[in-house]
Amino acid sequence: MSAGNLPTDGLIIFAKRHCETCAMVERVFEQLVRSTLPTAVLTQDDPTFPTLVKALDDTELEQSFRFDIETVPTVIRLKNGKEAARAFGWNRAEWERVTGLQDLGVDLPAMRPGCGSRSREPGVWEELVARYGDSGLTARRIQIGEWNDEIEACFDRGWSDGLPVVPPTDARIMRMLQGTSRKPDEMIGLVPPNLVPISVEKVAINAVLAGCKPEYMPVILAALEAALEPEAAMHGVVCTTCFSGPILIVNGPITRAIGMNSGINCLGQGNRANATIGRALQLIIRNVGGGRPGELDRAVLGGPGKYTFCFAEDESDPTWMPLSVARGIAPGKNAVTLFQGDGIQGFIDQRSRTPEQLTKSLAMSLLAVGNWKLCEFTNAMLVLVPEHYAIYRDAGWDRDRITRELHMAMVRSGKDVIQGAHGVGEGIDPKRKDEMVNKFWPEGLLIVHAGGQAGLFSAICAGWTGGRFRHESKTITKEIRL
């Protein structure tokens, strides 16, 4: 329906059948149409409503959008094509003020609230902005044929990690941007490996592709900021021939607010927030930074974690210090930690019942990270499940002591791990044969509490081999800005 059908001096009324107040004041619509004032009634949902007068069809909601209708019924007085006054809901005194007519709906109650406009229903407003308004988006638009499949078009353009993506329409991007208070044109930094600038809008586009909800945006932005820190060494992580990719651990009340999984199967499939937040970061690195497999991504084998690897820490046990707090974030704050790591090495110990036994057992598995004979070469992340942690907790061991005792249990004589020792070529520099050698740097063992409540099965994730350059490649933690 064009604006040419509307009076330039007169009244326009917005209504819908599925509104009790609109149905109640239908005779008022008739009164106004029969008055000397030119009057148009626009219906949002049913062209046959109201039945007492002929309505204009606004089921496409164009005029509802252009007149910014929030509630129906709404009556607007126009003078010289411009709005002079409006009233919404049913309030006899207000309708008489706007219309200049008296004795409207004298047999009706003096006042009744209206209903929400269809143009304001969830998800509709962004579609209307994209169709009839100025979205404010600046990213280049890609036109595809009317009969082309949108998802296949995304595959064809290389925007996918191999799984289907959600086509990033203007409406979906605008909806995603509502998840953050940050401006769409705010620049976040340069995305490796090609060091391409990225704005909040471009983050939102990739979040749409990944299947995220708008409320995930603060976590994605913080994860990206962590990845862009020089010490995150993301250029190396992306371009390495090793297995690694970014692993995200999220802390704080936001994990519960957006429904992240820190319990059963938290490192696996099935949780939208876990899956799509990690995927969004990976797609940003691919689509913006150019980190595509076989091109700049040179991983010999790669790993499933390069699709996505993101989970929340279990903070339900008050005796456990959350990872974010251990890394300097104030208690109760939201944070994301980026660890450059590989897939899962399962750890099984169902028989150790003292912290000393469990520590020795864990140390045996941790020593296998990378290679049993490599020391101070990679970092590692230990995901400690509740039943294993309970053994430590019940003995009074906290995070600091667990970490300290594990490091001590992994100190070995240099002569056992030098190159060539025990008939194995790999190992540390032979010059260190007389030293006592640590497996990891003091800061190189990250411990996270997560997983189901039943099962003595923890997990170890080896770190990227660039961890041997301890001052150039570090785990990064960022507070999340809402």
User: Other CB atoms closer than 10 Å to residue 279's CB: what's the count?
Assistant: 24
| Whole-angstrom distance, CA of residue 371 vs CA of residue 59 | 66
In this structure, the strands spanning 39-43 and 10-15 are: parallel
Instruction: At 456, list the tokens.
Output: 């003595």
pLDDT at position 1 is 47
Query: What single letter denotes the amino acid at residue 115?
Result: C
| Whole-angstrom distance, CA of residue 205 vs CA of residue 211 | 10
Do 90 and 112 form a contact (C-beta atoms < 8 A)? yes
- 114-137: burial string, b at 16+ Cβ within 10 Å, e else: bbebbbbeeebbbbbbbeeeebeb
User: Other CB atoms closer than 10 Å to residue 148's CB: what's the count?
Assistant: 11
Residues with Cβ within 8 Å of residue 177, at least 6 apart in sequence: 184, 200, 201, 204, 214, 217
Topology classification of domain 3-119: Glutaredoxin (3.40.30)
Do 468 and 429 form a contact (C-beta atoms < 8 A)? no
| Whole-angstrom distance, CA of residue 342 vs CA of residue 325 | 24
Q: What is the pLDDT along the chain (482 residues), one digit of tens a residue?
A: 445 689 999 999 999 999 999 999 999 999 999 999 999 999 999 999 999 999 999 999 999 999 999 999 999 999 999 999 999 999 999 999 999 999 999 999 999 999 999 999 988 998 999 899 888 888 888 888 878 899 999 999 999 999 999 999 999 999 999 999 999 999 999 999 999 999 999 999 999 999 999 999 999 999 999 999 999 999 999 998 989 999 999 999 999 999 999 999 999 999 999 999 999 999 999 999 999 999 988 999 999 999 999 999 999 999 999 999 999 999 999 999 999 999 999 999 999 999 999 999 999 999 999 999 999 999 999 999 999 999 999 999 999 999 999 999 999 999 999 999 999 999 999 999 999 999 999 999 999 999 999 999 999 999 999 889 988 999 999 999 98
Q: Tell me the domain boundaries of the chain.
A: 3-119
List phi, psi (to 5°) of 2: -90, 160
pLDDT at position 3 is 55
| Whole-angstrom distance, CA of residue 182 vs CA of residue 200 | 7
In this structure, the strands spanning 380-384 and 445-449 are: parallel
pLDDT at position 482 is 87
User: Other CB atoms closer than 10 Å to residue 155's CB: what's the count?
Assistant: 14
Instruction: At 284, list the tokens.
Output: 């940003």
